[in-house]
Amino acid sequence: MNEPRQMIVAQDDDGQRLDRWCKKHTPDLSYILVQKLARKGQIRVDGKRVKTDFRLEQGQEVRLPPLRNYGGNYDGGKDEKKLSDKDVDYIRSLIIYQDEYVIALNKPSGLATQGGSKTHYHVDMLSEALIDKAGVKPRLVHRLDKETSGVLLLARSAKISQKLGAMFKGRNIRKIYWALCHPVPEIYEGTIRAPIAKSGGANKEKMTVDEEEGKFSITDYSVLDHAGDRIAFMAFYPRTGRTHQIRVHAQISGFPILGDEKYPYIEDSDVKKPLPDLSDLDIGDRLHLHARRIILPHPGRAGILDITAPLPPELMKSWKALSFDPADKTDPFAG
């Protein structure tokens, strides 16, 4: 495809300048070319001309011209290819809910939400298979980490995308994540408040707590069950939507998520404590974090949209090995 592309500003990019957003999502394009395209009106936000210092808001739609005309790729990815029948069947197999307004996927661990400089296979590319009869491609309205599985929403129109973007930016959505953490927290429920920022330098893909430069971040948590004092079955409710928020907050609180290779240590007064040996347990080899449920006012009609994503097989294995209930209906954050 050599056509204009529309991309929705994600929650973590809220407040970012347009030129810096372009550097992140279209790294093949030079700073000078981005300036030129914006000046000529070929890069637009919600259909309007903007300058490159324009501050983007979550849910806005950025229109990019056919970048192949300028030697570039969207998201640095070479993903503008015809999908195979296998690709089409795969993305359709992930659908757990759909109506005329939204689509919900149960995203597996290992599948990226959007492309990047080294990521060419992702949900945004595969969603070409979900184009409706009017030729409209579903739009991403939020993201999940590549390693995280669970509920991922797509909007079927720009109008619904903007509504959902506003909801994610506000407090109208309750997102419940399940995780296995170790060791078991001393306090079984609480709230974690810690500002988060990018680490920078060689650890630019990691986030860290930064009291001066970090963005305000708050996460509620609750222990639903536990296996002795080694592993806790936990629910998390991130009230803000920062990159790796739950993972960082769990780590700094002394109960990192099982299988998290980016945040594998217990932080205690700047001393990294190694985690206990769990090799005797028959558990899945992945990050044990799953976007279990999402609850929000329906963006297209009256009523509530309440979607639950079943545990994937590799997490089901861990839950059963530890005798945790994979069908637990507890909502510790209701009300």
Distance between CA 71 and CA 74 in Å, rounded?
10
Residue 244 burial (C-beta neighbours within 10 Å; 0-12, 13-18, 19+): buried
- In b/e form, how buried is each residue of 133-162, taking b as 16+ CB within 10 angstroms? eeeeebbbbbbbbbbbbbbbbbbbbbebbb
Q: Is 145 a catalytic residue?
A: yes
Provide the token pair at 169. Answer: 């930016």
In order of 199, 214, 224, 259, the CA distances from 203 in angstroms are 6, 15, 33, 19
Q: Please report the sign of the dihedral spanned by the C-alpha atoms of residue 223, residue 171, residue 153, residue 256.
A: negative
90 by DSSP, 3-state: which?
helix
19, 145, 268, 331: the catalytic one is 145
On whether the CB atoms of residues 106 and 309 are closer than 8 A, the answer is yes
262 by DSSP, 3-state: which?
coil
Give catalytic residue positions: 145
